[in-house]
Amino acid sequence: MKKITLCAMGTALAVGLCFAGAGIATVDPGPAEMILESTIDKAKKPKPAIFNHAKHQETLKCGDCHHAKGADGKKTDYAEGQKIEKCESCHNKAAGMPPKLTTFKEAAHASCKACHKAKDKKLAKCSVCHPKKKK
């Protein structure tokens, strides 16, 4: 009788752990590489940025780059698992952002370029994010 009870308890525990593990939500890490380009405030001569998202994820936390906007329109810190919106959904000329953050390009240059300069000045060169097209 004890063997049957122990087997039943072991089976119940194993099944319970399987269902518990299935219920754990995983955060979508997003694409490994992206091409960043404004679709709202299009540049006359667009210079898309090649962004290695996976490489940045190796050393940074989501909240180091991503944030949200509160009901008052001000920047709020990233909350684990929040939906990541496109930067230009807020950083566009019609959104009334402060100077130097008005467009997606300006926001990216303010944030990305500043971080690159702080890590290694060579990373702040235009060609790091905007490689010349191969002919």
Q: Which two tokens stand for residue 111?
A: 């944030």
Percent of the chain clearing pLDDT 90 (strictly above): 59
CA 123 – CA 37 distance, rounded (Å)? 19
Is 133's pLDDT higher than 80?
A: no
Q: What is the mean pLDDT of residues 10-37?
A: 64
CA distances from 18 to 7, 10, 42, 77 (A): 16, 12, 49, 34
Is 23's pLDDT higher than 70?
A: no
Q: What is the mean pLDDT of residues 62-70?
A: 92
Q: What is the mean pLDDT of residues 79-101?
A: 91
Is 45's pLDDT higher than 60?
A: yes
- Dihedral sign, CA of 38, 111, 51, 64? negative
- In this prediction, residue 12 carries a pLDDT of 47
Cβ-based neighbour number of residue 130 at 10 Å? 14
What CATH class is the domain 33-129?
alpha beta
Q: Which two tokens stand for residue 91?
A: 């950083």
- Give the global pTM: 0.71
Q: Which two tokens stand for residue 54?
A: 């996976």
Out of 26-30, 71-75, 121-125, least confident range? 26-30
Q: Nearest CA to 132 among 48, 33, 37?
A: 48
Is 70's pLDDT higher than 50?
A: yes
- Every domain of the chain and the residues it spans: 33-129
Q: What is the mean pLDDT of residues 123-127?
A: 94
